[in-house]
Structure 1
Amino acid sequence: MFEKLLVANRGEIAVRVMQACEELGVETVAVYSDADRSAGHVEYADEAYNVGPAPASDSYLDQEAILEVAERAGADAVHPGYGFLAENAEFARRVEEADGITWVGPSSDAMEALGEKTKARRVMEAADVPVVPGTTEPVESAAEVRELGAEYGYPLAIKAEGGGGGRGMKIVRGDEEVEDALESAKREGKAYFDNESVYVEKFLEEPKHIEVQILADNHGNVLHLGERDCSLQRRHQKVIEEAPSPALDADLRAEIGEAARRGVREAGYTNAGTVEFLVEDSVASETQRGEGGAAAEPQFYFMEVNTRIQVEHTVSEEVTGIDVVRQQIRVAADEELPVAQADVEIEGHAMEFRINAENPAEEFAPTPGTLEAYDPPGGLGVRLDDAVAQGDEIAGDYDSMIAKLIVRAPTRERCLERSARALAHFDVAGVETTIPFHRLMLEDDVFRAGDHTTKYLDHEVDAADLEAAVDRWGAPEAIGGVDGERATNELVVEVDDRRYEVVVEDGLPRAAASAERPNGGGEASSNGGGTQVAASDAVTAEMQGTVLSVNVSPGDEVGGGDVVCVLEAMKMENDVVAPAGGTVAEVPVSEGDSVDMGDPLVVFE
């Protein structure tokens, strides 16, 4: 076993890896950026080293700096977590080639074979695993995409080869959308995964997103730990995951699990990974129907392999009792998996709720800020993975995740009930979160029935219901407001020994409180990304972020709703639009600039 392991990541996944190391008797090394000096993963580690400024490109993605820390600290293993360098085969190879350091993950060769989507498709085809129709080579030009549109029909999905979590993925519904979508997918692939290569496949409109957790050691053992249902997504990013899937029967479950095993065997894959599939009810034609006109069985198609641990590995752990991160470390140390496939049993049901600093009422726009209150739930069947505490700053430099709430129960129905109890007792103040959304879903008939697809949230859930959920269950405000209302404070008092929660107006007009905050006097205008506030003569940033592109110049005439620039905040690419038509007088920002909340992006005459 290793003596000292460096975690090349941050946040809750870094703490999760460190917890497994602690149980195995392995010392841990953290790396951190200037923005994370007081972060939870830094405090948990045995040692911690600064690797650069806040931008991930200058710190967590700096391969040289991380390898230097590993050597300086005397680490004999590196675990990448997820995100950042976790699926970077070049970094894995550099760790493999470093003297006395072991990479905790699949080999760099296997990562190249499966991590790049076009290569993965070829491997899966060789293993007789069905794949979505599309390219097996990178696509270079808009003309190629249009040719594929003519061949397969729209919609198409343009995907970054190194992508995941919906980043670097753009949906194209016609020839006119190809240019912008292609450039955006390449840009996100380069920014997040240092790989601008993209491929194209047919976009399935109403699938279930099913993934299979894999563990494989160096001794020929390959396990699958059942499947997870990750179909509830917004903008192609998962928000609630569960195991097992309520949509699969025993036969389809076994078929998909074995297909995942065949695929990773074909690639010579070891360590942990996830094989992702799309499952869709076929639109049964006359030739697809069986005897008596019965519809065809649901079909599954390989989508991609994530060559790393995933955010939602937790639900697989809960229903199998197998510590996936512990086994990652053991496999990297050349130990054998402790069980055979026949010994893997799925017991009970588990759900994971991503608690993100986002406002569901503003199309899940990020809401960076300070955790004025943070009191997560506990009790039977409740697990929390986090790396934050009350008073911590949720900055805009990285993703918006605060914590993961994982709930387990004997049945799905009991899991829904227990989840409702846990979420009702998850208290957060200072930032809006996805908690109101999760509570709404637990009352939603389609989700409760398990009939939701990847499109359900974006296409079927009413915005008014999300707004009502935030009004009902959203983070309490200590001060502030709009339209001259009075600011309030929540207090607890006792009268005749009985406890009451009361709201007290403190006399400070809400409009005045708002004026003290950035953009306090402006009129808000959102296009869904929640990234701009229109004052009388300017569009300003609603949050800290990085300017990815500027689409206008002084003198340009723009119309209301036109995209004037693209702002990246908390790993989300957001279009910033003009709230009304006008003439551009000034553009005080350039591509690559970092901006703070309230900074002007485009000024109008």
Structure 2
Amino acid sequence: MFEKLLVANRGEIAVRVMAACEELGVETVAVYSDADRHAGHVEYADEAYNVGPAPAAESYLDGEAIVGAAERAGADAIHPGYGFLAENADFARRVEAADGITWVGPESGTMERLGEKTKARTVMSEAGVPVVPGTNEPVESADAVRELGEEYGYPIAIKAEGGGGGRGMKIVQEAGEVDDALDAAKREGEAYFDNDAVYVEKYLDSPKHIEVQVLADEHGTVRHLGERDCSLQRRHQKVIEEAPSPALSAELREEIGEAARRGVGEAGYTNAGTVEFLVEDGGASETHRGGGGEAAGPQFYFMEVNTRIQVEHTVTEAVTGIDIVAWQIRVAAGETLDFEQDDVEIDGHAIEFRINAENPAAEFAPTPGPLETYDPPSSVGVRLDHAVAQGDEIGGDYDSMIGKLIVHAPDRERCVRRSARALKHFDVEGVHTTIPFHRLMLADATFRGGDHTTKYLDEELDPERLSEAVDRWGSDGGSRAPSTTSAQTLTVEVDGRRFDVLVEDGLVEAASGGDSADGGSEGSGVSAAEAGAITAEMQGTILSTEVEVGETVSAGDVVCVLEAMKMENDVIAASGGIVAEIAVSEGDSVDMGDTLVLLE
């Protein structure tokens, strides 16, 4: 077993990995950016090292700095968590090449084959796993996309080859939308995955999103741990996940599980991973193939392999009793999986709720700010994975997650009731959260019946119900002044390593939360109060500007695209006018209230 493991991540997943390390007797090392000096994962670790400024590209995505920190700390393993560099084969290769450091994940070559969607489609097809009709090679031109649209029939999906979580995916309903969609998919692929290659698939109209958890060791043993239902999504981002799926027959459940196991086995996969499928016709109880011709039961299709731990691994742990993160570490250390496939049993039902700092009534827009009140629930059947505490700031530099609430019960009906109780007692003030949305879903007939598909939130749920839920159960946020005490713990860095120093009877001035009285116009050059100014509604990074000086715009036109908390947001003109000034450029960081475009 390893002696010291560095977690190349932040937030709740970093703490989750560290907790597994503690139980295995492994010391832990955190890395952190300037924005995360006081973050929960930093406090939790045995030691911590600064790896750069707040922008992820200069810290959590800096593979050289992270490996350098591991070498300085004397770590003999690196676990990537999820997101950031977790599915970056080049980073895995860098770790593999480092002297005395083990990569906790699949081998870099396997990551490359399965992480790029076109290669993964080929691998799965060769293993006899059904795939969605589409291309197995990147598509270069809009004309080629239109030809495929004619071949498959619209709608089609243009997807970034290195994508995931809906990033880099654009749905095209007709030929006239191809040019803009192709440009957007390539832009997101480059921005998020450093790869602008895209491919095309037939877009399934209203599928269920089913994924299978797999574990494989270096000795040829492959196991699947059952499936999760991740169909409740907004803008292709999962918000509630559960295990097992309420929409699969026993026969279909067995067939999908074995397809996942077969596919990763023949690919030579090791460590933990997830095989994702789309299931047409939602559900259920009918026989999966044969006997019915046109009326045969639901069909499943391979979508992608996630070569890492998933956010929602928790529900699988709850129903199987298997510590997936601990097994990631044990497999990387050379151990053999010590259970048979028949030993994997599903006990009851579990649901995970992503508690994000977002406003459901405003299209789930991120709402960074301080956790003025943070009082999560506990009691029987409740697990909370988080790395925050009351008074912490949910910043805008990274994703909007506050924590994950996982509820387990003997069956789905009781799990829903138990979840309602837990969410009722989850008290957060200072930022909007997704808690009102979750409470709404637990009373929603479609969700309770297990009949929701990936389209339900975006196309079927009445937005007015979200507004009513926020009015009923939400928080308007607020602010409070920082306090001072006669004894404080200061954070200092010595040669990039973090230390906590207790200062007693010293005069310590509390740091500002970053909001200034004049609204802060760094990077804008134009007063936000100026008439005709289109301002940023959240902190983020400019992905593109869509207008030019002198251009006439109308109300509702997109003037620029802002990436915030890993989501792409169109900035819309509220009224018409002529573009007098563009105050930002692609790649600029902006704060809430900064002027982006000035109209006259």
Which residue number corresponds to residue 487 of structure 1? none
Which residue number corresponds to residue 268 of structure 1? 268
Q: For residues 112-511 of structure 1, what are the structure 2 equivalents within 5 Å?
A: 112-281=112-281, 295-478=295-478
Q: Does 1:543 align with 2:538?
A: yes
Letter in 1 for 2:181: A
Letter in 2 for 1:319: V
Residues 343 and 443 of structure 1, relative CA distance in 2, 3 Å threshold: same
Which residue number corresponds to residue 564 of structure 1? 559
Deviation digits for residues 519-558 of structure 1, max 9, x if unmatched?
9xxxxxxxxxxxxx99741100111111111111221111
Aligned residue for 1:336, secondary structure, equals coil
Q: For residues 9-158 of structure 1, what are the structure 2 equivalents within 5 Å?
A: 9-158=9-158
* Aligned-residue offset at 1:574: 0.7
* Greater mean deviation of Cα atoms: 202-211 or 556-565: 556-565
* Aligned-residue offset at 1:41: 0.5
Asked if structure 1 preserves the Cα contact closer than 8 Å seen for 2:430 and 2:479, the reply is no
Q: Supply the distance in 2 between the matched residues of 1:362 and 1:200 (Cα, whole angstroms).
A: 31
* Aligned-residue offset at 1:97: 1.1
Q: Supply the distance in 1 between the matched residues of 2:469 and 2:479 (Cα, whole angstroms).
A: 20
Asked if structure 2 preserves the Cα contact closer than 8 Å seen for 1:240 and 1:353, the reply is yes
Deviation digits for residues 367-404 of structure 1, max 9, x if unmatched?
01111110000000000000011111111111111100
Q: Does 1:584 align with 2:575?
A: no
Q: Supply the distance in 1 between the matched residues of 2:591 and 2:369 (Cα, whole angstroms).
A: 12
* Aligned-residue offset at 1:295: 2.2
Which residue number corresponds to residue 549 of structure 2? 554
Which residue number corresponds to residue 525 of structure 1? none
Q: Supply the distance in 1 between the matched residues of 2:65 and 2:146 (Cα, whole angstroms).
A: 42
Q: Supply the distance in 1 between the matched residues of 2:289 and 2:140 (Cα, whole angstroms).
A: 39
Deviation digits for residues 185-207 of structure 1, max 9, x if unmatched?
12222222222221110110100
Which residue number corresponds to residue 522 of structure 1? none
Q: Supply the distance in 2 between the matched residues of 1:52 and 1:42 (Cα, whole angstroms).
A: 14
Which residue number corresponds to residue 574 of structure 1? 569
Q: Supply the distance in 2 between the matched residues of 1:389 and 1:406 (Cα, whole angstroms).
A: 18
Residues 292 and 37 of structure 1, relative CA distance in 2, 3 Å threshold: closer
Q: Supply the distance in 2 between the matched residues of 1:194 and 1:15 (Cα, whole angstroms).
A: 27
Aligned residue for 1:51, secondary structure, equals strand
Deviation digits for residues 567-597 of structure 1, max 9, x if unmatched?
1111111111111111111111111111111
Which residue number corresponds to residue 591 of structure 2? 596
Letter in 1 for 2:410: P
TM-score, scaled to structure 2:
0.90
Q: Supply the distance in 2 between the matched residues of 1:21 and 1:517 (Cα, whole angstroms).
A: 46
Deviation digits for residues 258-285 of structure 1, max 9, x if unmatched?
00011001110000000000001299xx
Letter in 2 for 1:563: V
* Greater mean deviation of Cα atoms: 138-147 or 79-88: 138-147
Asked if structure 2 preserves the Cα contact closer than 8 Å seen for 1:534 and 1:579, the reply is no
Residues 256 and 292 of structure 1, relative CA distance in 2, 3 Å threshold: closer
Q: Supply the distance in 2 between the matched residues of 1:82 and 1:13 (Cα, whole angstroms).
A: 7
Q: Supply the distance in 2 between the matched residues of 1:289 and 1:590 (Cα, whole angstroms).
A: 53
Asked if structure 2 preserves the Cα contact closer than 8 Å seen for 1:282 and 1:297, the reply is no
Q: Supply the distance in 1 between the matched residues of 2:529 and 2:303 (Cα, whole angstroms).
A: 40
Asked if structure 1 preserves the Cα contact closer than 8 Å seen for 2:208 and 2:282, the reply is no
Aligned residue for 2:378, secondary structure, equals coil
Asked if structure 1 preserves the Cα contact closer than 8 Å seen for 2:21 and 2:326, the reply is yes
Q: Percent of aligned pairs with the same residue?
A: 77
Q: Supply the distance in 2 between the matched residues of 1:534 and 1:459 (Cα, whole angstroms).
A: 36
Asked if structure 1 preserves the Cα contact closer than 8 Å seen for 2:282 and 2:453, the reply is no
TM-score, scaled to structure 1:
0.89
Which residue number corresponds to residue 507 of structure 1? none
Q: Supply the distance in 2 between the matched residues of 1:291 and 1:116 (Cα, whole angstroms).
A: 36
Deviation digits for residues 263-315 of structure 1, max 9, x if unmatched?
001110000000000001299xxxx9987998221000000000000000000
Residues 580 and 215 of structure 1, relative CA distance in 2, 3 Å threshold: same
Letter in 2 for 1:241: E
Residues 561 and 387 of structure 1, relative CA distance in 2, 3 Å threshold: same
Deviation digits for residues 392-438 of structure 1, max 9, x if unmatched?
11111111111000000000000000000000000001100000000
Deviation digits for residues 327-374 of structure 1, max 9, x if unmatched?
000000000112110100011000000000100000101101111110
Residues 99 and 115 of structure 1, relative CA distance in 2, 3 Å threshold: same
Aligned residue for 1:281, secondary structure, equals coil
Aligned residue for 1:317, secondary structure, equals helix
Letter in 2 for 1:421: R
Letter in 2 for 1:20: A
Asked if structure 2 preserves the Cα contact closer than 8 Å seen for 1:289 and 1:295, the reply is no
Q: Supply the distance in 2 between the matched residues of 1:440 and 1:53 (Cα, whole angstroms).
A: 39
Q: Supply the distance in 1 between the matched residues of 2:183 and 2:442 (Cα, whole angstroms).
A: 38
Q: Supply the distance in 1 between the matched residues of 2:99 and 2:478 (Cα, whole angstroms).
A: 54
* Greater mean deviation of Cα atoms: 449-458 or 140-149: 140-149
Q: Supply the distance in 1 between the matched residues of 2:191 and 2:144 (Cα, whole angstroms).
A: 23
Long gaps (5+) in structure 2: 481-514, 521-527
Which residue number corresponds to residue 506 of structure 1? none
Letter in 1 for 2:542: V
Q: Supply the distance in 1 between the matched residues of 2:425 and 2:282 (Cα, whole angstroms).
A: 41
Residues 230 and 2 of structure 1, relative CA distance in 2, 3 Å threshold: same
Residues 224 and 552 of structure 1, relative CA distance in 2, 3 Å threshold: same
Q: Supply the distance in 2 between the matched residues of 1:19 and 1:293 (Cα, whole angstroms).
A: 51
Letter in 2 for 1:573: E
* Aligned-residue offset at 1:12: 0.4
Q: Supply the distance in 2 between the matched residues of 1:62 and 1:210 (Cα, whole angstroms).
A: 33
Q: Supply the distance in 1 between the matched residues of 2:291 and 2:337 (Cα, whole angstroms).
A: 45
Residues 89 and 336 of structure 1, relative CA distance in 2, 3 Å threshold: same
Q: Supply the distance in 2 between the matched residues of 1:331 and 1:100 (Cα, whole angstroms).
A: 17
Asked if structure 2 preserves the Cα contact closer than 8 Å seen for 1:282 and 1:296, the reply is no
Aligned residue for 2:295, secondary structure, equals coil
RMSD: 2.0
Asked if structure 2 preserves the Cα contact closer than 8 Å seen for 1:534 and 1:540, the reply is no
Long gaps (5+) in structure 1: 481-513, 520-532
Deviation digits for residues 132-155 of structure 1, max 9, x if unmatched?
000101112212111111111111
Letter in 1 for 2:112: E
